Structure 1
Amino acid sequence: MFDYLAATKRTDIGEFARSYAHGLRPDEGAEYDQLIEINLSELEPYINGPFTPDLGTPISKFSQAVKENGWPDELKVGLIGSCTNSSYEDMSRAASIARDALNHGIKAKAAFTVTPGSEQIRATIERDGQLQTFEEFGGMVLANACGPCIGQWDRRDVKKGTANSIISSYNRNFTGRNDGNPATHSFVASPDMVVALTIAGSLHFNPLTDTLKDKDGKEFKLAPPTGDGLPVRGYDPGQDTYQAPPKDRASVTVDVSPTSDRLQILTPFQPWDGKDAKDLPILIKAKGKTTTDHISMAGPWLKYRGHLDNISNNMLIGAINEANDEANKIHNFTNGEWGAVPAVARDYKAKGIKWVVIGDWNYGEGSSREHAALEPRHLGGLAIITRSFARIHETNLKKQGMLPLTFTDPADYDKIRPDDKVDLLCTKLEVGKPFPMIVHPADGSPSFEISLSHTFNEPQIEWFKNGSALNTMAKAAKN
């Protein structure tokens, strides 16, 4: 790690970390309750997916899984890069596999794209030749941006609704995330594995055991990947696109057209009114996996990222409603009609009605997408109550002045019906103490109390009271 920090002009941080290295070493003669032995020679690559990054299959069993599950075995596209797996070593190892194929007279059978994770990585691998190898291999080099990882992909080789398989080294592969096609079977693997399967064009290929045919029809096995952890000649910073702000900022104004549909000046969220919240409707009781892509979709919606009101029209449109097993169709208790989630939320907000969401396990899994927390707050939500949260999303909700709460007993999720109402005793919010919720069943049966848990600390409780973390910072700045 020190070598990496030094190579990226952060030697001072490396030296600082080294001063605490002793805390990471065991005391002489230390004993442990449990010893875990790992035979590295028995480890093998995994391929995760489709449709979720937590479905992992070892490469030795992957071909059989493809057959048993009926996944499309032809690989249409291989994609490497983006922010997660595009280090110099990642790109070097992937390029070594591509070069091995080129030396045998063959190129990528599937389409292949490369997304450099930064301008520094792009410039460095261009200088050192990896980028040219990828292009010679048949790859298309994309911009240094999120790209297909977040749905910025104008894909035209398959029609929407057509089942097909792609594989990437990105960190997410939720349904429809990469190309907007819910029928695309998206798999996740290391850059090495992505390139290897792209050469074969088939999900049945195992580069550890299987062979390919060279330009003369002779069989050969791909050599194990190789690559330097750091560039021998150091990093090339590439083009300097940073524009420093003026020294005198007093005269700087931010002018946004009121008719813009892509930019909007934000209004600070209102602070807590100091009261318990009574008779709150459940906007939606989400069933099963509810990721940040279900809460705030990306792709074509990204053009509205600077306009909170417009992008809020995608809030929870991918979540499955337990009441009807459908997405983006919920019951509006004020008029008895069924409508889209954002539309019903807006109706409640216009009528001064706060609401809650009931969620399942690992609610908010996925990226650190802040809009997934901003949108519920903007449309009048007070709390998200789940069996469990993905950590980053839970923190984002706190920062926006919302209450991320979990069922102390996860089985209590099943006691609540989508048309029930709840009271949240916000005045009882204290560090380390249960949070009480009263449930009022829609069928007229007696109300009952459910214990909720939370992870708020004292500063985070101030975020809730002040309306958001930003409000808290602004308040402190005035004092």
Structure 2
Amino acid sequence: MASTNSFNAHGELKVGDNSYEIYRLSAVEGSDTLPYSLKVLLENLLRTEDGANITKDHISALGSWKADAEPDTEIQFTPARVIMQDFTGVPCVVDLATMREAVADLGGDPSKINPLSPAELVIDHSVIIDVFGRPDAFERNVQIEYERNGERYQFLRWGQGAFDDFKVVPPGTGIVHQVNIEHLARVVFDRDGVAYPDTCVGTDSHTTMVNGLGVLGWGVGGIEAEAAMLGQPVSMLIPRVVGFKLSGQIPSGATATDVVLTITEMLREHGVVGKFVEFYGEGVAAVPLANRATIGNMSPEFGSTCAIFPIDDVTLDYLRLTGRSDEQVALVEAYAKEQGMWLDPSKEARYSEYLELDLSTVVPSIAGPKRPQDRIELAGAKESFRKVLPTYVAHDEGADGDASSFPASDPTPQGSPDGLNGGTKPAEEGDGNGRPSKKVTVTNADGASFEIDHGIVSIASITSCTNTSNPSVMMAAAMLAKNAVDRGLTVAPWVKTSMAPGSKVVTGYYDKAGMWPYLEKLGFHLVGYGCTTCIGNSGPLNEEISAAIQENDLAVTSVLSGNRNFEGRINPDVKMNYLASPPLVIAYALAGTMDFDFENEPLGQGTDGTDVFLRDIWPSPDDVERTIASSINQEMFTQDYADVFAGDQRWQSLPTPEGNTFEWADDSTYVRKPPYFEGMGMEPAPVEDISGARVLAKLGDSVTTDHISPAGSIKADSPAGKYLAEHGVDRKDFNSYGSRRGNHEVMIRGTFANIRLKNQLLDGVEGGFTRDFTKGGEQTTIYDAAEAYRAAGTPLVILSGKEYGSGSSRDWAAKGTRLLGVRAVIAESYERIHRSNLIGMGVIPLQYPQGQNADSLGLDGTETFSITGITELNEGRTPKTVKVTATKDGGETVEFDAVVRIDTPGEADYYRNGGILQYVLRSLVAS
């Protein structure tokens, strides 16, 4: 529908021989000094103004945005496109297929359920590193991937044929965010003769990687993405914008990863949840596009909605390099300059808050052992590791440890062959220097024997779009590997090594530079193009090493070039996980242990018998850049993306169902019709207060969506494992939770089942367990307890602390919560995406009064809860607070007014309808 054009902004832009319709920002007073990101939103409103949902007042409010005001004005943002990965995308397509049937049941036209905006899905989350350290690792892993996921892939191929404007990038191609910046992103759209900024929402929180190209986009839950595909705008408040000034240049020895970890720490400490972050200043022009994308990628780790860079010559150079057409590059340049979206370091926009980083002060860093914002300077990594190790050995993860008993440096002789403890033979659980030690002899399949201990690096993985999209760190890693091999260094035999680039372009420039032989000599063979270790698809450790770790309860580590290192995420055998740049991943693989000081300890002895230190093999930045310049060209991108949606012979030969509606297979354990629309009528039932509710889980601070959402491998003795076994699935074919996201029965059983979840209803128990008060409070699994409560007609609540739901935009964290019977969550604070997703599934997010929490109120989770005042929503009003009454067994009550975190009228509509999909479905049928 055409804009009502209240500001007479509609006009024409000529670029060469082409002419485009545009909506000029200059028509709105105040637009000139808006931050870049808000200019993108302003154009969006001008172009989609309809006089009802988007009005002249909304546009004026954005133009006259007060930088220092708290957000209070709701706007409707209509993204240009939606991007998905397969774990989160499969449930989206499942829901769309189910909606087609629901529309028919309500007397509507099923064909109305069709993406109204371009939707692209990249299959990148299903490859697991089952095979590694050998030349055929990639081929074998892809073969296993198809064997495991053929049913899902057939379903996605059906969707590509059944839905208009829906495209699928087949397996073995790359990681969604890297494919996005290298090929899918338009930067400026040209659709039906109208030019406008490329914007997107994605079903993965790291959608923000595209911010490096100047594309405004962020991660949303799958349910929001489905609504966006169906033409529903994203309801949001005009945000605060943090201006982040960059100056200086990255020093020699530091990498883009180190910059990202530094920025992550700064912004997480500053507090940017729900805010936009925008980079400006003289230093921006010196930041390569790949580094910008790496910074944007980590936006979820510091909690902002986006982390964006404006368009400039660096953007255009990257578009040319990656094979975008001359016409497209010309349009991007002309449009950005016409609309005042071109980087002008001499002009400073108005920002809500200000931060600054001199890039020359960045030092080599890692982050861990369980959060990406916990940055550690590399020089202090050994001391930091020694400080925290005792807490993991003692199963008190998360304690700070006691640094006083750990020396800053190890006085024992260095350079032992195994790289552990300087060659000393420690006593059981101690090495005489305060470091817990428990050496265990392992004999591998080749008959070689070696000792492993607490702190060994069991996984060293170059993985994740965050860094594999960045040639500077990837080439540095390869050149470091070459230098190590040339000096005669080898990787410790207990390290599982892997190389999983985000696109085939990486393989191309490694081939051209002649680097693969050196990487492979150290065990870093190609294992797949996709998200692997970073999302828990690290695959199993070698059996003998895994058994030794489990039988001796060793606290071992992983080092990966990813963006996530939350507890229980990477591998069930690995307690401590560290993020590092690709060259440091290789360095730690050579060291073999986290208990290592790169400055003072040699990585080993060279072929000439002399000690080799990290500084001896670290490539110079000039050498890295020269190698990149001679190894990367436009042809690599144009060839790799020439037919990106076609797939290989495996993909093309998959049997594909046809028809507008999907034929559900009753015996499928991968794709099942979900129950969201069962019994749904055209009119929503009135919202009801909650009474007689029990606590399913009482949780602490920083509970992530990884703790809530099913992820990783499925254990045989878990509710999900038992379900699959009952349905005839062999243990070896269980696959991961992510691969089975299209089956709600599996996903419900895995919700809140993370092995590191700490439910405070139980003492000293980790994992997906709780107390079942229908059976006297006995311990059972969360799923079994929820089923018992369901049978008894008892609603459920979750109690939590600060930052509830931080982490990835996982729709199943909300879907699973609702399907378990949870009606409300009461927390101290929320991460943006999960709060929104809870509402989208009909779960009300409530917040304790300022300064209060469960403990300060005396709540232990054994109480029975009632929540009154919710029914005010039936009258078209959203209450600011509702009354919560918690009744203890003895009859004593605790009462407080909980803040209702339904923040916009649009969210209130979703909640009144029982969820966003129900709202969309009713709206489509009514129209």
TM-score range, shorter-chain basis? 0.7 to 0.9
Distance across 2 between alignment mates of 1:31 and 1:299: 44
Q: 1:175 aligns with which of 548, 552, 567?
A: 567
Partner of 1:79: 461
Pair 1:237 & 2:640 matched: yes
TM-superposed deviation, 1:26: 6.4
Partner of 1:102: 485
Q: 1:52 aligns with which of 348, 371, 376?
A: 371
3-state DSSP class of the match of 1:299? Answer: coil
Distance across 2 between alignment mates of 1:288 and 1:54: 15
Pair 1:321 & 2:734 matched: no
Partner of 1:469: 916
Partner of 1:195: 586
Deviates most, 371-380 or 210-219 = 210-219
Aligned pairs for 1:130-279 (under 5 A) are: 130-152=515-537, 153-156=539-542, 157-159=545-547, 160=550, 161-181=553-573, 183-207=574-598, 211-212=602-603, 213-220=605-612, 221-223=616-618, 224=620, 226-227=624-625, 228=628, 231-233=632-634, 234-235=636-637, 236-237=639-640, 240-242=644-646, 251-269=659-677, 273-279=686-692
Q: Check the 8 A contact 2:878/2:908 in 1, yes or no.
A: no
Distance across 1 between alignment mates of 2:524 and 2:908: 50
Distance across 1 between alignment mates of 2:663 and 2:355: 59
Q: Which amino acid aligns with 2:818?
A: R
Partner of 2:384: 65
Bigger radius of gyration: 2
Extract unaligned runs of 5+ from structure 1: none
Q: Which amino acid aligns with 1:46?
A: S
3-state DSSP class of the match of 1:194? Answer: helix
Deviates most, 49-58 or 201-210 = 201-210
Q: 2:884 aligns with which of 438, 443, 457?
A: 438
Distance across 1 between alignment mates of 2:696 and 2:800: 11
Partner of 1:344: 785
3-state DSSP class of the match of 2:790? Answer: helix
Aligned pairs for 1:267-306 (under 5 A) are: 267-269=675-677, 273-301=686-714, 302=737, 303-306=739-742
Provide the aligned C-alpha RMSD in A.
3.3
Pairs aligned (count): 475
TM-superposed deviation, 1:74: 3.2
TM-superposed deviation, 1:449: 2.8
Q: Which amino acid aligns with 2:640?
A: P
Distance across 2 between alignment mates of 1:32 and 1:304: 43
TM-superposed deviation, 1:162: 3.0
3-state DSSP class of the match of 1:374? Answer: helix
Q: Which structure shows the bigger proportion of residues in helix conformation?
A: 2
Q: Check the 8 A contact 1:53/1:172 in 2, yes or no.
A: yes
Distance across 2 between alignment mates of 1:296 and 1:69: 27
Change (3 A) 1:14 1:58: farther
Change (3 A) 1:208 1:242: farther
Q: Check the 8 A contact 2:762/2:771 in 1, yes or no.
A: no
Distance across 1 between alignment mates of 2:355 and 2:805: 32
Extract unaligned runs of 5+ from structure 2: 1-212, 214-314, 391-453, 715-736
1:324-374 deviation digits (Å, cap 9, x = unpaired): 233433233333242211111122223333221111121222222221111
Change (3 A) 1:265 1:21: same
Distance across 2 between alignment mates of 1:7 and 1:472: 43
TM-score (norm: length of structure 1): 0.87
Q: 2:774 aligns with which of 328, 334, 350?
A: 334
Q: Which amino acid aligns with 1:266?
A: P
1:258-277 deviation digits (Å, cap 9, x = unpaired): 22222211222565532222
Distance across 2 between alignment mates of 1:149 and 1:278: 41
Partner of 2:814: 373
Q: Check the 8 A contact 2:689/2:868 in 1, yes or no.
A: yes
Deviates most, 264-273 or 226-235 = 226-235
Q: 2:895 aligns with which of 448, 451, 455?
A: 448
TM-superposed deviation, 1:190: 1.8
Q: Which amino acid aligns with 2:546?
A: V
TM-superposed deviation, 1:240: 3.6
Distance across 2 between alignment mates of 1:130 and 1:432: 60
3-state DSSP class of the match of 1:368? Answer: coil
Percentage identity across paired residues of the two chains: 25
TM-superposed deviation, 1:168: 0.7
TM-superposed deviation, 1:113: 0.8
Q: Which amino acid aligns with 1:322?
A: Q
Q: Check the 8 A contact 1:6/1:14 in 2, yes or no.
A: no
